[in-house]
Each structure stands twice: as structure tokens, then as C-alpha cells.
Amino acid sequence: MKKLILILFSCILIAALLSGCGGKPAAEAQAAEDTQKAVDNAMETMEILTNKEWPADKLPTELPEYTEGEIVNSGGEADEFYIKIDKTNEDALTAYLGKLKEQGWNVSEGRESTANKGVYELSFTWQGDDHLQVIVYTSEVGAWPSDKIPPDIFPPENCTFIGDVEVIESIPGQGWYSTYTCEGVDEEGAKAYFDKLRENGWSGDSQLVKDIEWKGKKYSADIEIYEIEGNTSSFTVNFMIVE
């Protein structure tokens, strides 16, 4: 770190010295502007490299602070944010994951542990005996594409869609499918969803099927549960023109 700071300020000093060379006002003005830019860039870099606080203003309020370690750096974009933590250990991480579970996160523990809640997903990766990297991924909240799916196919109640719900053409002009993930729908919620579908003419057990009509054409459709993790459920739907 000290070497990097010396290099940065050496660059600033060189730029400042160069600004004093030459006698043309325009050249001097340009040199002064370049020097100021170098100073601003150096200060910005130093600020990033010395960010040793928990970046609460960059993280979801649902994410508790990691206190058993030293924050050495953090940064990234709104959809992918990195946190570097030193002087921590596996026991500290286990305790933190336990805290996440208590606060409603779905946690999967291992050498590379993960956790998710709503539109947020966390990745924990060891990069040394006591150095932990945490990545916070944030997805957008999606919407049900009612203009692209027959109305007989409807989502669960109280569903917050994680990411866009895409309708993909599997057979050109004839078949389509979609996978949709719902936050707020646990195992009981998924069961209630299937019961609601059965009340509306669907039949089956783990996979529901129904022949439907939409826009003057007949379709064969099926829906099944893809995955359930805590309070989050994913479903797949297929529908195909039959005549």
C-alpha cells in the first residue's frame, strides 16, 4: 500500500513539474488541468483502496454486518458488489451464516457457501486461510408476461418474481416454455398454487396438464415444480399448439 501511494504521488509531482515547463499560456493551462485530473484520480484510487468500513450504504438492509474480521476493500456495481474480509475464519463464517438463516435467508453451506433472499444472492469464497470474499448479487424484480402466455396459465398468489420471466420459443411457431421463480412461495405455498390450478381445470400430481384454447388455437400445456428452497419456489411451464 505504501509503495502504491508513493507511486501515485510521484506521478502527481511529475505532472506538476511538467506544468511549469514551457512558456505558452495555453500549454500551461492544459498542464494545470492535467495535473488536477491526476490529483483527483489519485485521491479517488486511494479512497477505494483504503475503504475499510462495512459498506452499509451499498448493500441491502436485509444483510447484517459481518463483524468477525477486518474489511480490507469493497466495490462493484449495483448488481454485483464485492467485499474483501481479512482476519476471519470458518467458525466466524458459520456463525454469520447462522445469523442469515435466523433472518430468513436460504443458506447452503460448503467450501463455497451461498445464501439467497428475495432478489439477493450471496456467494462466500475463501481466498486463503483467513481471507474471505463475499459477492452480493442483486436481480431485478420481474413481472408476469400475460401478453405472451395463455390466461389459463397463471402465477401463484403473493409471488415476487426474481428476475425477468422469459417466454422462450422451443419449437419455432409451435412450442414455448418458461421458468419462473417466486419469492414468498414456500412448500405450502407451492401446494396451494397447484390446488388452485386444479380448481381451474388442471389435472395431475407432481406435473399438472391441461388442454387450453388461446387466440383461436388449441394448446397442450403442463406445469411442474422445478425447485423449492425455503421461501422461494421455481416452476416450469410448457405449452404447445396441437392443431
What is the spatial distance between Cα 130 and Cα 201, in angstroms, rounded to a whole number? 57
Helix residue ranges per DSSP H, 20-121: 25-49, 90-102
- CATH 2.40.30 fits domain 160-241: yes
pLDDT tens per residue, the chain (243 residues)?
Answer: 444 444 444 555 455 554 555 555 666 667 667 767 765 665 555 455 557 899 999 999 999 999 999 999 999 998 999 999 999 999 999 999 999 999 989 899 988 999 988 889 999 999 988 999 999 999 989 999 999 999 999 999 989 999 999 999 999 999 999 999 999 999 999 999 999 999 999 999 999 999 999 999 999 999 999 999 888 999 999 999 997
CB-count exposure of residue 173 (10 Å: 0-12, 13-18, 19+): exposed
Indicate the DSSP class of residue 156. P
So where are the chain's domains?
A: 2-49, 56-138, 160-241
Name the phi and psi angles at 45, rounded to 5: -65, -45
Beta-bridged to residue 208, according to DSSP, are 204, 223
Distant-in-sequence contacts of 54-61, Cβ < 8 A, 24+ apart: 55/81, 55/83, 59/136, 60/120, 60/136, 60/138
pTM of this structure: 0.65
Query: What cell was used for 243?
Result: 392443431
Phi, psi of 217 (to 5 degrees): -125, 155
